[in-house]
Structure 1
Amino acid sequence: MDAVIFLGENKIEVRRVPDPVPGPDEVVIRVKASGMCGSDLHHLHSPLRADDAQVIEGHEPSGVVESVGTTVRPAEAQVGDRVMVHHYDGCRACRYCRSGWTQYCPNGRVVYGGLNGDGGHADFMKVPAHTLIKLPDSLSFKTGAAISCGTGTAFAAIKRIGLTATDTVAIFGQGPVGLSATLLAKAFGARVIAVDIDPARLEMAKSFGADFVVDPAEVDAVDAVRALSSTGEGADKSIECSANALVRQDAVRSIRQWGTACMVGVFGPLEISSDELIHLHKTIVGSLTFSKNLQEECASFVAERGLDIEALFTDEFRISDAERAYDLFDRREIGKGVFVFD
């Protein structure tokens, strides 16, 4: 099969590799869609990788079960099942693994698609059966790919802050995660303020249901969010998806006294004045991806409400186009891309 390998130092290779064969507790899925994620660029720009550290990229896969191992129970997976992958494995015995938060396993964590396990940018992907989550029949494989990372991450952040229909939420950064948060927050019934400096992204946010959009290149974002809040004191909640240190400050400053800000964008510093945090009784929380249970809950939520998650994707590619696709993605000449398969 053909597979996308990141060699480090911005080098990509589409390599011919053997088709995977499942072990006793594993399955092989025929990949139907595999999304491109902003975190892929960290792997792309990493130092040159040794041969034994090179893995197949892609941690947003969905597809159909092609074959199952000898000990996989029918309740776990059967040939023909439409599935997503919770792209982590661990010891399967610690409290994190047993609660579905496998990414926090302290006893040998595996991250499929970029860190230390082969991912979904290939015709087939081999994973432990317990990582599979059924994809509702009403959802496309591209929607499943989105839920497997960016949209699932947004859903987990919304649950983390306990968003309700009475809340006004400011969502900073309208990339794929932020746009997902905008769409989902509207489905939760909240009043949404979308913040970004890219006019095209703000237009997408409007189409996804944002009640207001704010361009910090034109106005002070904090003042604008406060002015748009019902009391003038700020939003009830905020979600920060850019990983920009100054934007993180704005996400905290723009919420009212007793408000909650959720940090989703990874990497970089977070520096907040004690006046904001302590004197105004604000709460700051972090949210990293999602548990297996939350991924399943997100898929059910999207299916039940008929949300158009597939609209997040602006470009489709074949595996043979991987080098060009990531070049365009890295230079921000496309939005969210996805590899599709026959």
Structure 2
Amino acid sequence: MRAVVIEEPHKLSVTTVPDPTPGPGEVVVKVTAAGLCGTDVHMLAGEFGPTRYPVIPGHEFSGEIVAVGEGVTAFAEGDKIAADPAIYCGACHFCAIGRGNLCEQWGTIGITVDGAAAEYVKVPARNCYRLPETVELRHAPLIEPLSTIVRGFDIVDPKLGDNFLIYGAGTMGLLYMQVAQRAGAGSVSVVDINADRLTVAKKLGADHVATSADDLERRLGWEVVTDCTGNIKAIEDGLTRPIRGGTFQQFGCAPDQELAKFSPFRIYNDEIRIVGSMAILHSYGRAVELLGKGVIDSETMITHQFALDEYAEALETFKRGTGRKLQIVPDKAPA
């Protein structure tokens, strides 16, 4: 089959590799589409610690099952599915206490094992979710990023009427915004230095948008401030914005060696809660249901589709901040 392979940091190829074969408890999926995200950029740059090279990227995907391994009874050839990419050992301390996303042997399809930027991908059957009839295959790769948002909300545990400030109007910020609206936010404000992105945020229902939080009128601050950029300047600014007793959530993936400055006195004096949100935990199935209910405007979110041979171009498009969710479509011919 044809596949994208990250051979090592800064080295990418599109080549022919052996077709995957399902082992016991596994299925092989013909990939309909695979979404790009910031993690893929970090992987190619050698900035995402768990990556194991060489690897086929692609952890946001959907498709149709074309082969099932021994012992698989819940799925059959022809089933349309999306899959939780997370792989846990099930035996370490963190798995034992139900925190598999912090697993000592943490793995992910498309990061530590071969993923879906290919014609076919091998997946544990236990990770698969049959799609509701209301969800199109081409929309279903949105389930993975949406499931990380669901996990983020589990951690923040907002109250009805809380006011949200979101840094970043890219894919994750816009998904976070749409979930916050449906979760009973009092208001949702979005900050992004890209004015074009703010136009989309406003279209999708943001109450207030600005290129700087200084331009937003909320004297006391926001109950929930979330960084969806991973940008150090945005993070440092965001840490100054929660209301007393409020929460700052680090949701975006910053380079693993970067450091941010903040005021420990303010954290103490104003009882600011700082929380992280790492990947997916008991949230993928709920994301399937939310997408099926139309919580996300999928058509607006997906803006670009690229062939396998255009993967490098897709990454450059992503890094320029052009569009929203970009997808790799293995069946698509290069332009």
Answering whether residue 148 of structure 2 is matched by residue 153 of structure 1, we say yes
Q: Secondary structure at the match of 2:157?
A: coil
User: For residue 258 of structure 1, what is the aligned residue in structure 2?
Assistant: 245
User: For residue 81 of structure 2, what is the aligned residue in structure 1?
Assistant: 83
Partner amino acid for 1:109?
Answer: W
What is the aligned counterpart of 1:320 among 288, 309, 314? 309
Contact 1:157 1:239 in 2 (8 A): no
User: For residue 179 of structure 1, what is the aligned residue in structure 2?
Assistant: 174
**Structure 2, unpaired ranges of 5+:** none
- What do the CA deviations read for 1:168-203 (whole angstroms, capped 9, x no partner)? 100011111111111111122311000110011111
- Structure 1 vs Structure 2: percent identity of aligned residues? 30
Using a 3 Å threshold, how does the CA distance of structure 1 residues 98 and 139 change in structure 2: closer, same or farther? farther
Shift of residue 158, structure 1, vs aligned partner: 2.4
User: For residue 326 of structure 2, what is the aligned residue in structure 1?
Assistant: 337
Task: Calculate the aligned-residue CA RMSD, in Å.
Answer: 2.1
Shift of residue 294, structure 1, vs aligned partner: 0.7
User: For residue 11 of structure 2, what is the aligned residue in structure 1?
Assistant: 11
Number of matched pairs: 323
Contact 1:112 1:119 in 2 (8 A): yes
**Structure 1, unpaired ranges of 5+:** none
Answering whether residue 108 of structure 2 is matched by residue 111 of structure 1, we say yes
**What aligned pairs does 1:53-72 form with structure 2 within 5 A after superposition?**
53-72=53-72
Alignment TM-score, normalising by the size of structure 1: 0.87
Q: Secondary structure at the match of 1:142?
A: coil
Contact 1:151 1:176 in 2 (8 A): no
Using a 3 Å threshold, how does the CA distance of structure 1 residues 286 and 330 change in structure 2: closer, same or farther? same
**What aligned pairs does 1:1-342 form with structure 2 within 5 A after superposition?**
1-46=1-46, 53-74=53-74, 77-94=75-92, 96-97=94-95, 101-106=99-104, 108-114=105-111, 116-148=112-144, 150-190=145-185, 191-216=187-212, 221=213, 223-225=214-216, 227=217, 229=218, 232-267=219-254, 268-291=258-281, 293-342=282-331
- What do the CA deviations read for 1:66-93 (whole angstroms, capped 9, x no partner)? 211111232xx22222222211213234
Using a 3 Å threshold, how does the CA distance of structure 1 residues 3 and 199 change in structure 2: closer, same or farther? same
In structure 1, distance between residues paired with 2:270 and 2:107: 40
Alignment TM-score, normalising by the size of structure 2: 0.89
**Greater than 6 Å deviation, 4+ residue runs:** none
Q: Secondary structure at the match of 2:122?
A: strand
In structure 2, distance between residues paired with 1:286 and 1:26: 32
